[in-house]
């Protein structure tokens, strides 16, 4: 890392330029940016050095230079300028957040949309599992004739339905029984035994066959591994970048962004504290080798944890993305504290 100040400035200028244009950057272009009063020949020498050191790549002999993964890495670590988010955007963000007096779960989903709005890149956000939040209530409601709906309230609301007939009164009584057993438990603590006990209590006033169906469904609903939810916003934005002007590449990426399983793995990856970038080959997924991610882990006061990830081309506007995530995390933290503590 023994880069002279001049080399740093040149590298920075090259990457800044390349982020804007996606075209290889030539020595003349840099020399004309004048702030450093050097001729193109001098810049060329420095560029040759930077290439030798691994920070730049020359696509072919007579082309300019583009940053290597290492170049971007150095840029993100040491060179990136501070990005000032417009006061308008901040105000907009705040008003968006205020208008959404809502459940944490919805807030999270919304945060992904906001991040995408601010950065103009695709975002992926994972909502925490909720098997750590206790069961507040279970409802049994007869809806259409022949259908009974089960509603399990934890931090979220899950619902399922069973196709049996049960009177309103039957629902009521069964609901009370279920609540007596389950309320206060955490979903993963519920076992077959717990359910069996409910059955014992209910046998008598509900036909066994019906009871079985309902309780089976209840068990499934409660224990269905409270999946990490994944929300993707603005996936189509990738089509704006020349990196994806090839339809096949675009399709591959969009398929990836549709694949919840892969995205869960992505969200589960360790990206350390705070806001961090993973650049090109640093990514585990083959398909992300030419892209970069900027990820931010978050934890809710209630204990859940998740991750917000911005996905873009390697030449993404890192400083803007970092600043945006920082802003969002601050604003939301304020909001969450306000809701939790009332101040």
Partner DNA sequence: GTTAGCACTCATTCCCGTCGAGTGCTAACA
Partner DNA sequence: TGTTAGCACTCGACGGGAATGAGTGCTAAC
Residue from the set 36, 48, 113, 160 that interacts with its own copies by CB under 8 A? 160
CA distance 323 to 249: 29
| Binding site partner of 100, from DNA, its own copies, none, Cβ cut-off 5-8 A by kind | none
Q: Does 26 bind DNA (CB under 7 A)?
A: yes
How many residues bind its own copies (CB under 8 A)? The answer is 44
Q: 69: which residues sit within 8 A by CB, 6+ positions away? A: 279, 280, 281, 282, 314
Are 33 and 26 within 8 A, CB to CB?
Answer: no
Question: At which residue do the structure tokens 């882990």 appear?
Answer: 297
| Binding site partner of 63, from DNA, its own copies, none, Cβ cut-off 5-8 A by kind | DNA
Smallest CA-to-CA distance from 159 within 148, 170, 174, 167 is with: 148
Are 96 and 331 within 8 A, CB to CB?
Answer: no
- Going edge to edge, which strands form the sheet with 137-142? 137-142, 148-153, 157-162
Nearer to DNA, 29 or 141 (CB): 29
Q: Does 255 bind its own copies (CB under 8 A)?
A: yes
Candidate segments 91-99, 188-196, 247-255, 290-298, binder of its own copies by CB under 8 A: 247-255
Residue from the set 48, 153, 160, 210 that interacts with DNA by CB under 7 A? 48
Smallest CA-to-CA distance from 269 within 131, 58, 124 is with: 124
What x-and-dash track marks residues 57-96 binding DNA by CB under 7 A?
-xxxxxxxx-------------------------------
Nearer to DNA, 37 or 204 (CB): 37
Helices (H), 99-167: 104-119
CA distance 326 to 321: 8
As measured in angstroms, the least distance from the Cβ of 334 to its own copies is: 14
Residue from the set 77, 203, 302, 330 that interacts with its own copies by CB under 8 A? 302
| Binding site partner of 240, from DNA, its own copies, none, Cβ cut-off 5-8 A by kind | its own copies
Smallest CA-to-CA distance from 234 within 106, 308, 123 is with: 123
User: Site residues (CB under 8 A) for its own copies?
Assistant: 101-104, 106, 133, 136-137, 139, 141-147, 149, 151, 153-155, 157, 159-163, 165, 236, 239-240, 244-245, 247, 250-251, 254-255, 258, 302, 339-342
């Amino acid at each position: 890392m023994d880069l002279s100040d001049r080399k740093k400035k040149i590298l920075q200028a090259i990457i800044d330029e390349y982020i804007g244009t996606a075209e290889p950057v030539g020595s003349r272009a840099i020399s004309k940016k004048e702030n450093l009063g050097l001729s193109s020949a001098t810049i060329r020498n420095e560029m040759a050095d930077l290439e030798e050191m691994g920070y730049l790549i020359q696509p072919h002999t007579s082309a300019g230079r583009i940053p290597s993964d290492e170049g971007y890495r150095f840029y993100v670590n040491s060179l990136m300028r501070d990005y000032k988010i417009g006061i308008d955007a901040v105000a907009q963000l705040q008003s968006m957040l205020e208008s959404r007096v809502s459940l944490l779960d919805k807030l999270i989903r919304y945060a992904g949309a906001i991040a995408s709005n601010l950065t103009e890149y695709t975002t992926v956000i994972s909502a925490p599992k909720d098997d750590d939040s206790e069961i507040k209530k279970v409802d049994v409601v007869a809806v259409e004739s022949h259908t009974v709906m089960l509603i399990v309230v934890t931090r979220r609301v899950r619902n399922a339905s069973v196709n049996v007939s049960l009177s309103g009164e039957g629902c009521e009584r069964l609901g009370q029984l279920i609540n007596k057993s389950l309320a206060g438990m955490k979903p993963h603590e519920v076992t077959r035994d717990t359910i069996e006990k409910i059955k014992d209590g209910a046998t008598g006033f509900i036909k066994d066959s019906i009871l079985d169906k309902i309780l089976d469904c209840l068990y499934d609903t409660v224990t269905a591994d409270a999946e990490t939810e994944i929300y993707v916003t603005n996936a189509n934005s990738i089509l704006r970048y020349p990196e994806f002007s090839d339809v096949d590449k675009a399709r591959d990426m969009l398929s990836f962004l549709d694949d919840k399983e892969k995205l869960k793995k992505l969200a589960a990856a360790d990206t350390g504290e705070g806001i961090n970038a993973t650049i090109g080959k640093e990514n585990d997924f083959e398909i992300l080798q030419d892209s970069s991610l900027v990820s931010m882990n978050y934890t809710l006061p209630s204990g859940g944890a998740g991750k917000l990830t911005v996905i873009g081309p390697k030449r993404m506007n890192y400083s803007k993305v970092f600043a945006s995530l920082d802003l969002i995390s601050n604003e939301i933290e304020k909001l969450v504290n306000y809701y939790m503590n009332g101040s």
